[in-house]
Amino acid sequence: MIRVLSVTSECAPLVKTGGLADVAGALPGALAPLGVEMRTLLPGYPKVMAALKKPNTVLEDPDLFGGPARVVAAKVAGLDLLVLDAPHLYARDGAPYNRPDGQDWPDNPERFAALGWIAAQIAGGGLAGWHPEILHCHDWQAALAPYYLRAHHPDARVGTIMTIHNIAFQGLAPVAKLPSLRLSAADMTQEGFEFWGNISTLKAGLVSADRITTVSPTYADELLTPAFGMGLDGVLRARQGVLSGILNGVDLGVWAPPYRTPTGKRRYKARLRQTLDLPEADGPLCVVVSRLTYQKGLDLLLDALPRLLDQGGQLALLGSGEPELEQAFRRATAHANVAVTLGYDEALARLLIEGGDAILVPSRFEPCGLTQLYGLRYGTLPLVAYTGGLVDTVIDASPAGLRAGVATGLQFHPTTAEALSRAFDRLCGLYSHPDLWLRMQRNAMRHPVGWDQSAADYKALYDGLTGR
Ligand code: ADP
């Protein structure tokens, strides 16, 4: 058994804003059969605290970044949780990172520094009876843990891993916060965590961890370039030797289609149309389940949409995010073949994926992407931008892909409205050939999207770090 402490700010099914939660929630179960005992350290948001039955206090800290805190151990939904109960930091209503008005909490740096601090304490031997051999940290919210471990527990024999789920989120804080984040001014350097005059907690993790991973091989390559590295490409180039990409998988128990063959989709498509009040149509019913942000390229979808609608296609979108995008999509519903639901709704997300013909992911950058993987499994063909994990998971219906009989979806490049419009032409063309479409659906549904390979890759990484 290898003991691993996974540190994350969100974890499905308890608290989720995006793919990170799915991955953090699935990893322990995926790795258990390989002999990995993973415990997950998570902030005690109200929703998380409410889900705990028989919590057991395993660690106390009378002054954790401004108030008393404790760590409680509990099993929830098959997860072996260590929950950081720090009411002064986490007992707040709403989303994990934002005030009710949508703005970031001003003390987010401290809120997640505390998570890293406790993680380092546990990795440093602070928990009686359980000493992790690996500290696996996810995104900026956990990224101070490897730094604190080095700085405050230098003798700990623990391998550290920093996983980048999205480099757009860097955990920036003004330099005035050095003392309140318990950071040493001596490390406010280019080699340390300094980033254009600010503190970057993500950078602290990237320069401190033994290994760096990200969530697809293509994104690992892209991160080394100025176009995708978002200012951290130089840091990553310097650490290229310890950087690797491991694809995210899908929890096959959670994402299990209620049909075995593509024809089984019909009744779900009918139910979806009925639910959203969409008429019958000749073209493909395209679905989107996404955060509405610049990253996701949905402004390009708005521009290219007429090309889909003109060919008898339909769009059903579920998402929430930037107000301008929300408004623009609301306006798009003037067309009878467009249905838009603003908000977060897991049941509707599932129905969209069950009932859609194609799922659209026109992202400008996409570390891995999960919804195209759901699409594959459900025979809902992914139409994706050629970037990041979308490159690594979809086989394009190019002439070669079709002739070899291996295509599972469509990719377009560059990520522009014009290229997306042309992809809609191809999509509608394929859809009008039911035999071709069915073949692709079968390929898609057979494509392995589970955790097997990636769990083995993480296990190999852990083995390498523990010297096994
Ligand atoms: P990201 O993490 O960048 O948001 P991913 O594709 O990796 O993108 O993961 C997004 C996850 O969040 C998926 O599980 C998707 O189904 C889910 N999701 C996104 N928006 C919504 C929404 N409005 N309602 C329900 N689920 C959503």
The predicted pLDDT at position 94 comes to: 84
Atom of ligand 1 nearest to the CA of 17: 12
pTM, 2 dp: 0.96
12-67 pLDDT, tens digit per residue, is: 999 999 999 999 999 999 999 999 999 999 999 999 999 999 899 999 999 999 99
Q: Looking at the predicted structure, is the pLDDT value of residue 235 above 90?
A: yes
CA-based R_g, the chain, Å: 23
The predicted pLDDT at position 157 comes to: 95
How many other C-beta atoms can be found within 10 angstroms of the C-beta atom of residue 369?
29
Choice from 169, 289, 394 to test ligand 1 binding pocket (greatest atom count within 8 A of CB): 289
439-466 pLDDT, tens digit per residue, is: 999 999 999 999 999 999 999 999 999 9
> Separation of 291 CA from ligand 1 center, angstroms?
6
148-205 pLDDT, tens digit per residue, is: 999 999 999 999 999 999 999 999 999 999 999 999 999 999 999 999 999 999 999 9
Give the confidence band of 70 by pLDDT, cuts at 50, 70, 90.
very high
> Separation of 47 CA from ligand 1 center, angstroms?
19
Atom of ligand 1 nearest to the CA of 370: 6
Atom of ligand 1 nearest to the CA of 320: 23
Residues of CATH 3.40.50.2000 domain(s) within the chain? Answer: 2-249+451-466, 262-446
> Separation of 33 CA from ligand 1 center, angstroms?
27
| Mean pLDDT, residues 285-299 | 98
> Separation of 242 CA from ligand 1 center, angstroms?
29
Atom 12 in ligand 1: residue holding the nearest Cα: 18
271 vs 288: CA distance, rounded Å: 17
CB 164 within 8 A of CB 244: no
CB 143 within 8 A of CB 202: yes
Give the confidence band of 101 by pLDDT, cuts at 50, 70, 90.
confident
88-100 pLDDT, tens digit per residue, is: 999 998 889 999 8
403-446 pLDDT, tens digit per residue, is: 999 999 999 999 999 999 999 999 999 999 999 999 999 999 99
> Separation of 191 CA from ligand 1 center, angstroms?
34
Atom 4 in ligand 1: residue holding the nearest Cα: 18
CB 45 within 8 A of CB 86: no
Choice from 166, 345, 368, 370 to test ligand 1 binding pocket (greatest atom count within 8 A of CB): 370
What residue type is assigned to position 242 of the chain? V
Q: Looking at the predicted structure, is the pLDDT value of residue 113 above 90?
A: yes
Average pLDDT, the chain: 97
> Separation of 159 CA from ligand 1 center, angstroms?
30
Atom of ligand 1 nearest to the CA of 349: 25
Choice from 255, 371, 373 to test ligand 1 binding pocket (greatest atom count within 8 A of CB): 371
Burial 429-466 (b: 16+ CB within 10 A, else e): ebbeeeebbebbbebbbebebbbeebbebbbebbbebe
- Residue 263: CB partners within 8 Å, gap ≥ 6? none
Choice from 165, 252, 290, 325 to test ligand 1 binding pocket (greatest atom count within 8 A of CB): 290
Give the confidence band of 307 by pLDDT, cuts at 50, 70, 90.
very high
CB 161 within 8 A of CB 136: yes
The predicted pLDDT at position 105 comes to: 96
Lowest mean pLDDT among 5-9, 133-137, 249-253, 383-387: 249-253
| Cβ < 6 A, ligand 1 pocket | 18-19, 22, 289-291, 318-320, 344-346, 349, 368-371
Greatest distance between any 2 Cα atoms in the chain: 67
31-42 pLDDT, tens digit per residue, is: 999 999 999 999
Tell which CATH classification among 3.40.50.2000, 3.40.50.970, 3.40.50.170, 2.30.30.40 matches the domain 2-249+451-466: 3.40.50.2000
> Separation of 13 CA from ligand 1 center, angstroms?
13
Torsion of CA 392, 393, 394, 398, to 10 degrees: 30
| Mean pLDDT, residues 348-369 | 98
72-83 pLDDT, tens digit per residue, is: 999 999 999 999
Q: What is the 3-state secondary structure (H, E, C) of the chain?
A: CEEEEEECCCECCCECCCHHHHHHHHHHHHHHHHCEEEEEEEECCHHHHHHCCCCEEEEEECCCCCCCEEEEEEEECCEEEEEEECHHHHCCCCCCCECCCCCECCCHHHHHHHHHHHHHHHHHHHCCCCCCCEEEEEHHHHCHHHHHHHHHCCCCCCEEEEEECCCCCCCEECHHHCCCCCCCHHHCCCCCCEECCEEEHHHHHHHHCCEEEECCHHHHHHCCCHHHHCCCHHHHHHCHHHEEECCCCCCCCCCCCCCCCHHHHHHHHHHHHHHHCCCCCCCCEEEEEEEECHHHCHHHHHHHHHHHHHCCCEEEEEEEECHHHHHHHHHHCCCCCEEEEECCCHHHHHHHHHHCCEEEECCCCCCCCCHHHHHHHCCCEEEEECCHHHHHHCCECCHHHHHCCCCCEEEECCCCHHHHHHHHHHHHHHHCCHHHHHHHHHHHHHCCCCCHHHHHHHHHHHHHHHCC
Give the confidence band of 468 by pLDDT, cuts at 50, 70, 90.
confident
Class of domain 262-446: alpha beta
> Separation of 380 CA from ligand 1 center, angstroms?
16
Atom 19 in ligand 1: residue holding the nearest Cα: 290
Atom 14 in ligand 1: residue holding the nearest Cα: 19
> Separation of 165 CA from ligand 1 center, angstroms?
13
Atom of ligand 1 nearest to the CA of 12: 14
Atom of ligand 1 nearest to the CA of 318: 23
**Percent of the residues in the chain that have a pLDDT greater than 70, as a whole number:** 100
The predicted pLDDT at position 407 comes to: 98
